[in-house]
Amino acid sequence: MPGTMAPSRPKRTDKRKQEPTPPAPHPEAPAERTSQNRSGKSLQLYIPPDLADAFDAYIEASRPKTTKTGIIVMLLEDFLRKAGTLPAEGGAK
């Protein structure tokens, strides 16, 4: 009975499932990300408030101005070199 069949619906052109919205960038993240920024691993770090205050004060006093990431990388490199797990800058342990 062709008269009782419902007409076919037009195909939806919009996506049924929306892609998840990416999270908002961190306030201290660089405005523009480049491949250079993404060449390493990401690490999220929680520190006690007193340590965070001291860290922020250090960054404010540092000249030339640097980023929190730059300071953490520098300190981690120094620590790992002293521990013997990262070669010295010249290449020898």
Per-residue model confidence as pLDDT tens digits over 27-53: 665 555 454 556 778 888 888 999 989
- pLDDT over 70 at 92, yes or no: no
User: What is the sign of the dihedral through the CA atoms of 75, 78, 84 and 90?
Assistant: positive
- CA distance linking residue 46 with residue 68, whole number of Å: 13
- Mutual angle of helices 49-61 and 68-83, in 10-degree steps: 110
Element (H, E) at 83: helix 68-83
Res. 68 pLDDT band, cuts 50 70 90 = confident
- Per-residue CA distances from 76 to 20, 24, 25, 52 (Å): 34, 27, 24, 16
At 83, the pLDDT band (50, 70, 90 cuts) reads: very high
pTM: 0.46
Q: What is the pLDDT of residue 39?
A: 73
